[in-house]
A and B are shown apart, each in its own frame.
Chain A
């Protein structure tokens, strides 16, 4: 149990270092990419080239992914600041967001489903 916890902490620290590395490189090169996505691409490259074995980050990474949704709760609470705007034009804005989300979802979902069926035939 204690060993497992230590293992997980160390792996999360490793993932955090990759996140910082990604953020640093993005800043340095002036690319329009968030540091976390850059870190993800770096880790993917390290895994694909075999430099890093999946087992090295699997325990900590698996834990963070299992609770991925958690991180969006504190962020969503920020919606509280927009009470006035929501009372004024909330219905219109929600309608726009819902409609455009469904359009995007349908376009991606249907086109990939279609291309996928065709390519796997």
Chain B
């Protein structure tokens, strides 16, 4: 892997992001989700150019370097919305807990119905939690880490594309409720969409992501086995 390839792959990614972002901002349609479109464009380009995922890895490491500090920065909208958070502490906590339990149960029950093996089912368990913690939960409960990572990313994509429309169809209009739902199910990617809806939704989504991560880590080892045969 040389410096030219590295630079090219970074430019491809940044370019795809800037282009799809301006398309999304112009039309605001959930299917035009920048992460979704950019991912398709980049995978297509990599395959056309004969690149493997291994070739892309150095560029990926460099570009995700700031995800840590970006997540830390979620404290800002959270702080700006602290009054909303304190006022609605009970609905926030119970909503995130209920949603986390429900989405895990739905995934494992559906998986069992389709006769997936225990390994795949356990890997599905923590799919709504942010990647670093989901991988850890998966490993501890007997799932496969790489599979879980793929499920987490796919869930983030699905939730951020279908979520806003589904919530509108269900007449969930309150930004607090919308943000919490997006963050509980679709972690950081849901939060990215919530941030584009409003600052309050973004803040709540960040909160939901944190609570869901901690809660899932605590209950998964006891809760997931209930759904295995």
Given the interface contacts A36-B72, A47-B79, A100-B106, does A78 sit within 8 Å of B150 by beta carbon?
A: yes
B205 CB to nearest A CB, Å: 10
CB distance A18 to B91 under 8 Å? no
Docked complex Cα distance between A53 and B191 (Å): 24
Set of chain A residues within 8 Å of B180, measured between Cβ atoms = 108-109, 112
Interface size (A, Cβ < 8 Å)?
A: 73
Contacts of A58 in B (CB 8 A): 76
Contacting pair B67 A71 (CB below 8 A) = yes
| Interface size, chain B (Cβ < 8 Å) | 112
How many Å lie between the Cα of A80 and that of B77 in the bound state? 33
Q: Which of B17, B36, B76, B146 has the most CB of A within 10 A?
A: B76
Interface 1/0 per residue, A2-33 and B, CB below 8 Å: 00000000001001101110110000000011
Q: Is A51 an interface residue (CB 8 A)?
A: no
Which residue on chain A has the smallest CB distance to residue B59? Answer: A74
Is B6 an interface residue, CB under 8 A from the partner? no
CB distance from B203 to the nearest CB of A (A): 10
Complexed CA–CA distance, A18 and B80 (Å): 19
A-B pairs, top 4 by smallest CB distance, nearest first, are A104-B103, A108-B99, A61-B73, A115-B91
Interface residues of A (CB under 8 A from B): 12, 15-16, 18-20, 22-23, 32-37, 39-44, 47-48, 54, 57-58, 60-62, 64-65, 67-82, 85, 89, 92-113, 115-116, 119
